[in-house]
Structure 1
C-alpha cells in the first residue's frame, strides 16, 4: 500500500523559519512561499510514487513517464502562479486528480 503524503506542520499562528535554508535569518515565510513549498512537497511525493510504480511495473513505463511529465508541467504552472501572487485556477485540482485517475479533468 502506498504511504500517504506527510502531513503539513500545524500553522498555529506562526510561519516556518527560514533558518537553515540560507543560514540563520530572522523572519517568516510569506504565505505565497508556504503555498509554493506545499506544492513542491506534494509534487515530490507523487513523483516518487510514480517512480516506484515504474520500477514495479516496467511494462507501464512509457505511460508513467508521460504522466510524470504532465504532472511536472501542471506543478510548474501552479508554482509560477503562486510565485506571482495569483490564486490557483479552480480547475487545477481537477487537472491533477484527472491525471492520477481520481476524477475527470476539466
Structure 2
C-alpha cells in the first residue's frame, strides 16, 4: 500500500533532500527518505517495538506482523503488548480459528 505523506522540513534539510537525486546515490527523494526511515528503524529497536505495538493495538496488523516488525519472538511480543497496554485479540470462535488455520495452510501450499 503506497500512500502520500506530507510534512514540513527545515529549509536546509528540505533543500538537501531535493538534491539527493542529483547525487546519483538515489533515483528519487522518495527512495532516499524511505531508506533513511528504514535505516533509522534498523538502529532503533525501541521505536520499531513501539510502532508494532501501536499498529497492533489499532488492529492494523496481526500478532505475526507485529513480531516481524519488532524483531521479537512471539512470547516476547506478547509481553511487550501487555507492557504497552495493548489488548491482544484472538479469534472469536472455533469456526474463525479453523478458517484462519485453513487459510494459513493454503498460503504455505499444504
TM-score tier (shorter): under 0.3
Length-normalised TM-score, structure 2: 0.25
If asked which structure has higher relative contact order (CA below 8 Å, sep 6+), I would say 1
Length-normalised TM-score, structure 1: 0.26
Larger Rg: 2
Greater helix proportion = 2
